[in-house]
Amino acid sequence: MQLGPLELGLILVIVLLIFGAGKLPEVFRSMGEGIREFREAASTDDAKEKTPKDSTNTPQAS
Q: How far apart are the first and last CA of the chain?
A: 59
Pseudo-torsion of CA 48, 51, 56, 62, nearest 10°?
A: -10
Share of the chain above pLDDT 90, in %: 34
**Domain-wise residue ranges, the chain:** 15-40
Q: What is the pLDDT of residues 22-33, one digit of tens each?
A: 888 898 899 999
For the segment 30-42, the average pLDDT, to the nearest whole number, is 93
